Amino acid sequence: MIEEGTETHEREIIAFTSLSRRIHYQVQRKCGILRLTIMDPFGAPPSSLSGNQPSNEHMMGQLKQQLAQAYAEEFFSTVRDKCFTKCVPKPGSSLSGSESSCITRCVERYIEATGIVSRAVFTALPR
């Protein structure tokens, strides 16, 4: 038998999950999900690596994709957890308009902050 509080919490999670999927899509669209530049240990760009180029380029492409996916998942998980905790103090059967707006604003701030930090880090990297 499911208790009323548990059922309400489950409905809230379902509603939040739906909103999270939309936000995740927005994050992917706005951030372009990572534009990584990966170089070999000696600083040469992937296209100038010696040896079996198709194999190296393929491996670098796979690595870029895996890193981008891991970053996106970690970013999304962090944003989802922090924004939900901040914006939904008392879970109910559905998200209120103010909770939904709060979550949207919170996610947008995280996206903006991440962009600022990323630009600062990439600017500071030696070329």
- pLDDT of the residue at 54: 59
Other CB atoms within 10 A of residue 56 CB: 15
Helix ranges restricted to H, the chain? 4-31, 53-87, 97-124
Backbone phi and psi for residue 79, each to the nearest 5 degrees, phi listed first: -60, -45
What are the domain boundaries of the chain? 4-38+49-124
**pLDDT, block means (10 residues), the chain with 127 residues:** 54 59 56 40 46 69 85 85 90 90 92 88 79
Other CB atoms within 10 A of residue 126 CB: 4
- pLDDT of the residue at 96: 92
The pTM score is: 0.49
